[in-house]
Amino acid sequence: MCEGEEVWVGVIRFWSAWAEVRDFEAAVFQDRAEGQYLLAIIDSVMASSVSDQLAVTTSMHDLVIAPHPVPDPPMDVLIVRAPGSLHPPKQGSVLIEYLAVSELNTSIERPTTDAVGLFWRFLQEKFEVAPSS
């Protein structure tokens, strides 16, 4: 999958171009404070040296991240829940979930000010992906 291409895994479409997902999320949350942490996470990925190691899709507005190249299903995914999600975070919080094929799922909910750091912590722990310093 080259930059800007998409890959279908079953009925799920993953993108390699984070900018497309940012445009979509910005159209929803640009003027809504409760969704700014999603844009901050996307911006941090786009500014990192490892965006090509991560594929992304959305489930309505949740971010769903998988390693790139996207493995055949079943696969582990990291989900950043959005305000208005079917499984939303508490107001003023970010909810990040790691859904594992092994069913050893992990989740954490913290203030939105911790969103970017938590996101990268999960990526490093679960996918062994970290931005270079």
Report pLDDT digits (tens) over 53-62. 999 988 878 9
Answer with the residue of higher pLDDT: 59 or 5: 59
Q: What are 19's strand-pairing partners? A: none
Q: What is the pLDDT of residue 10?
A: 52
9-12 long-range Cβ contacts below 8 angstroms, 24+ apart:
9/66, 9/70, 9/72, 9/73, 9/75, 10/73, 12/57, 12/64
CA angle, residues 27, 19, 47, in degrees to nearest 5: 120
Which pTM does this prediction carry? 0.87
Segment 49-73 mean pLDDT:
89
Q: Which two tokens stand for residue 92?
A: 């003023």
CA end-to-end distance (rounded Å), the chain:
26
What are the domain boundaries of the chain?
A: 6-127
Q: What is the pLDDT of residue 8?
A: 52
Answer with the residue of higher pLDDT: 86 or 2: 86
Segment 100-125 mean pLDDT:
96
Report pLDDT digits (tens) over 15-25. 667 998 999 89
* Highest mean pLDDT of the ranges 24-28, 53-57, 69-73, 108-112: 108-112
